[in-house]
Chain A
Amino acid sequence: MLARVNGIKANRVLWQTWVMVGALAGLAGVALATTSGTFNNQLGFNYMLVTFAAIIVGGLGKIHGALAGALIIGMVTEISGYYLSSGYKQVFALLLLLVVLLLRPSGLFATSATETRA
């Protein structure tokens, strides 16, 4: 609302963001498909929660936070899968997300623990 009052075309900015998000997600899909070699229509859903986990652990709205969050979540997933049953590897990433949400809802790399209103 405030943005609209100040003459910013909010819908257009939103639309541009959607286009960028779609393009980036498509790029990630290409990278994934060329790496793993197989692909089906169920694959995306597994990545969605883990992606949420990565951005929230890193801190919403921070690019380096998202990078670090993705790295942390990825390492936790694979290392716990190595030491314990591989079926549990996602569980540990999601438990890490729960712990971060409860202790520091604004993410590990946020400058201040701001209010997490959505």
Chain B
Amino acid sequence: MIQFSLTSLIFLGFQVILVLGLNVQFGLTGILNLAFIVFYAAGAYTAGVITGPAPKPPGLRHIAGWNMPFYVGIAGAMLVAGVLAALVGAIALGRRLRGSYLAITTLVVAVVLLSVVSQEQGLFDGNLGLLGVPVPFGRGLSNDVFAYVYACFVLVVVALCFIVCEWLRRSPYGRILRLIREDDVAASVFGYNVFKFKLVAFIFGGVLAGLSGCLTIFYVGSFSPGGWGVGETLFTLTCVFVGGAGSTTGVVLGASVISLVFVQLTSLLPTLQSNPSLILVARGMLIPLLLILVLRFKPTGVLPERLPRLAYPPDRPNLSRETPATASADPRSAT
């Protein structure tokens, strides 16, 4: 039972980092990025290649394996995910593609990359995926002790990510990102380079996703295309919507509720002999149902975005309470 709780918490940590990253892209800046999970995969594969064993040609033909220590893997994963995010962002954000066009472009990127990686044997072993990636912190630890140590490690990383995201949200930089979300024409009129701000937010989210992917492959030891379908992006997006897009505590709550209650706790239910996959099917229906209910009855999420107090409040405080988003985006208080 303790092992189960620890594993649940560790996986929750991965999901929280993902959700924090997507919240910076979607909740704060308003970029609907359906290729988000690609950066998670990029981090996982990079970490696997850096720290994993070298390929053995007849069966395992992945690109390389360097057996390096895990902190090199973390740094490399974040770097590669950031570079990939910069590339995708430069393509998808550059041509003023908006709304559904941006969503379709990123969705196409996700599907194309998934299709290529799962079929190229020489890249990351195709559908089999990378296997046998060693656990960090040495091999001397028993499984029980390792779970405790790794849970603490993930907790520290999650806390760091949370602090950075909350700081970004409250900072003047975050305020400009919200201004771009609400009205990017206004932002460019005020002289902000909208593309540059969007790209930075995109890369930031991508780096967080890469970090999450790298922690995942360290814990699980393997990673394959089954772990990063388009559905995973939608799951993360569901967490953001349910928790409250734009609110850092909200999305963490959303991820916790969905991961713990709907994914982990339902796996404790007794399975029916006649229909063993019933729980999986029920989970697949309950989470979208939750999303629809939240969008119908509380579209801003369970913990809606609360805007940080302005250092220099606008002249008309009553107006700012009625239309919080535009008031906070007031460029006079941006510096």
B310 interface residue (CB < 8 Å to A): no
Question: How many residues on chain B are close to A (CB under 8 Å)?
Answer: 18
Residue-wise, chain A 65-101 has the 8 Å CB interface mask toward B (1 for contact) of 0000000000000000000010110110011011001
- Residues of B contacting A52 in the complex (Cβ-Cβ under 8 angstroms): 104
- Residues of B contacting A117 in the complex (Cβ-Cβ under 8 angstroms): 98-99
Closest to A53 in B: B108
- Residues of B contacting A88 in the complex (Cβ-Cβ under 8 angstroms): 115-116, 119
A105, B97: Cβ atoms under 8 Å? yes
A91, B115: Cβ atoms under 8 Å? yes
B101 interface residue (CB < 8 Å to A): yes
Q: Which of A53, A117, A118 has the most CB of B within 10 A?
A: A118
Known pairs A88-B115, A94-B111; A56 contacts B99 (CB<8 A) = no
Question: How many residues on chain A are close to B (CB under 8 Å)?
Answer: 19
Residue-wise, chain B 147-173 has the 8 Å CB interface mask toward A (1 for contact) of 000000000000000000000000000
Closest to A52 in B: B104
A49, B119: Cβ atoms under 8 Å? no
Could you tell me the dominant secondary structure of chain A's interface residues? helix
A94, B98: Cβ atoms under 8 Å? no
A111 interface residue (CB < 8 Å to B): no
A90, B115: Cβ atoms under 8 Å? yes
A102, B111: Cβ atoms under 8 Å? no
Distance between B105 CB and nearest chain A CB, rounded to angstroms: 6
Q: How many angstroms between the C-alpha atoms of A50 and B105 in the bound complex?
A: 13
A87, B101: Cβ atoms under 8 Å? no
B105, A98: Cβ atoms under 8 Å? yes
Write the residues of chain A forming the contact surface with B, with a CB cutoff of 8 angstroms. 49, 52-53, 56, 85, 87-88, 90-91, 94-95, 97-98, 101-102, 105, 116-118
- Given A49-B111, A91-B112, 19 more A-B residue pairs with CB atoms under 8 Å apart are A49-B108, A52-B104, A53-B108, A85-B119, A88-B115, A90-B115, A91-B116, A94-B108, A94-B111, A95-B112, A97-B108, A98-B91, A98-B108, A98-B109, A105-B97, A116-B101, A117-B99, A118-B99, A118-B101
